[in-house]
Amino acid sequence: MLSFECDYNTGCHPKVLARLCETNLTPMPGYGTDEFCESAKRKILAACGCPDGDVQFLVGGTQTNAVVISSLLRRYEGVIAADTGHIAVHEAGAIEYTGHKVLALPEHDGKIDPAELRNYLRTFYADANHDHCVFPGMVYISHPTEYGTLYTKSELTALHEICGEYRIPLFMDGARLGYGLTSPETDVTLADIAALTDVFYIGGTKVGALCGEAVVFPKKAPPHFITMVKQQGALLAKGRLLGVQFDALFTDDLYMEISRHAIRMTEMLKELFLSRGYTFFRQSPTNQQFIVLNDEEAARLAEKVRYSFWERVDDCHIAVRFAAGWSTTEEDIAALAEILSE
């Protein structure tokens, strides 16, 4: 069935698959020490403009958040996030499972506000009893956010400065980073991100890979990071699986190219909904679009096309998500147009 359900509903980009096929029987050492991983790391660091940084490949998003956050925090620290942040609501308490609190700030279009962050930190340290509280030890942002929105360069710069003042790392969850970098509305580049964060990840699972996220430390990974990765069951014996895929994605600009394609498909999708008079639940400049449907229409559409339920709006309307991705085609959009016309 036609599917706009999510951006992880197909396998991997054909060029990634081809590279997996070519390299399939070449013997390689395990645990990410192979030359495919090495090559991919070099290419990623070059693309980020931080050749002396570190890269670690992990398998999925929740895993990456849990490993990075719990490896960087001291045990008496928690991580600040928007109250709609993925780690705050949709990871089954994975951060708390490692012993750390998620300190929630109010979201604004899915983002945290630099002024509110500064105020939170100032208030924390001004409280004479702060020794009885969880120390803010890190700031987590997602870009795009869970609502598809993006930080501006100026917002990122502000967050970077505040984190610098308080000497806590800024961590960007880039599960859909490609779609953020190629949005027509962004002024943020990959190099900007490497310059303005302490650690971020480049999402593969949702942008052309079978699985895999590339964690980038623009300066340096924490000591014994590999042991902490192993300790959380996140070290892949066949690290090559991730290395080969990211090597393909960072060859000839493939990662950006397929992200741009997804954004083009999103523009068509947006246009289609606009032209048919649909109401948008939230404005999103990236590949996830949120539409309001009445219950009847939602049921009718669900027979022909897959989408995601987002939340109930009122007694007879729901918000739903239609996501485009690297594998969305013009034919998919045309098929949807036809369904909407019925």
Annotate each residue in 245-264 with x if it binds a second copy (CB under 8 A) or - if it does not, as one string: --------------------
B/e letters for 275-314, b = 16+ CB within 10 Å, e = fewer, are eeebeebbebbbbbbbbbbeeebbeebeeebebeebeeee
Q: DSSP label at 132?
A: G
Q: Is 97 in the site for a second copy (CB under 8 A)?
A: yes
Q: Which of 35, 38, 54, 96 binds a second copy (CB under 8 A)?
A: 96
Rg, C-alpha atoms of the chain: 20
Amino acid present at 302 = A
- In DSSP terms, 309 is beta-bridged to 320
39 vs 189, which CB is nearer to a second copy? 39
Q: How many residues bind a second copy (CB under 8 A)?
A: 80
Q: Smallest distance from the beta carbon of 307 to a second copy, in angstroms?
A: 12
Q: Which of 122, 230, 276, 300 binds a second copy (CB under 8 A)?
A: 230
Q: Which of 3, 157, 189, 251 binds a second copy (CB under 8 A)?
A: 3
Which residues in 8-37 contact a second copy (CB under 8 A)?
A: 8-12, 14, 17, 20-21, 23-30
Q: Which of 228, 298, 319, 336 binds a second copy (CB under 8 A)?
A: 228
Q: Which of 210, 249, 263, 336 binds a second copy (CB under 8 A)?
A: 210
Neighbours of 13 (CB within 10 A): 23
Nearest one of 176, 178, 326 to 256, comparing CA atoms: 178
- In DSSP terms, 58 is beta-bridged to 213
Q: Which of 43, 47, 55, 70 binds a second copy (CB under 8 A)?
A: 70
234 vs 339, which CB is nearer to a second copy? 234
Q: Which of 122, 219, 220, 238 binds a second copy (CB under 8 A)?
A: 238
Residue 271, phi then psi, degrees to nearest 5: -55, -45
Which residues in 166-195 contact a second copy (CB under 8 A)?
A: none
Q: Is 233 in the site for a second copy (CB under 8 A)?
A: yes
Q: Is 277 in the site for a second copy (CB under 8 A)?
A: no
Q: Is 106 in the site for a second copy (CB under 8 A)?
A: no
Q: DSSP label at 325?
A: -
Distances (CA, A) of 44 to 5, 48, 312: 29, 6, 40
- In DSSP terms, 279 is beta-bridged to 292
Q: How far apart are CA 206 and CA 178, in angstroms?
A: 9
Amino acid present at 102 = V
Q: Is 304 in the site for a second copy (CB under 8 A)?
A: no
C-beta separation of 199 from 65 below 8 A:
no
Contacts of 5 (CB under 8 A, 6+ apart): 306, 307, 308, 323
Residue 246: strand, helix, or coil: helix
Q: Which of 15, 42, 101, 153 binds a second copy (CB under 8 A)?
A: 101
Q: Is 327 in the site for a second copy (CB under 8 A)?
A: yes
108 vs 224, which CB is nearer to a second copy? 224
Q: Is 164 in the site for a second copy (CB under 8 A)?
A: no
Q: Is 232 in the site for a second copy (CB under 8 A)?
A: yes
188 vs 209, which CB is nearer to a second copy? 209
Task: Please compute, for residue 242, the number of CA atoms within 13 A of its CA located in the half-sphere on the CB side.
Answer: 29
Annotate each residue in 113-152 with x if it binds a second copy (CB under 8 A) or - if it does not, as one string: ---------------xx-xxxxx-----------------
Q: Smallest distance from the beta carbon of 200 to a second copy, in angstroms?
A: 17
Residue 79: strand, helix, or coil: strand
123 vs 154, which CB is nearer to a second copy? 123
Q: Which of 38, 42, 49, 63 binds a second copy (CB under 8 A)?
A: 63
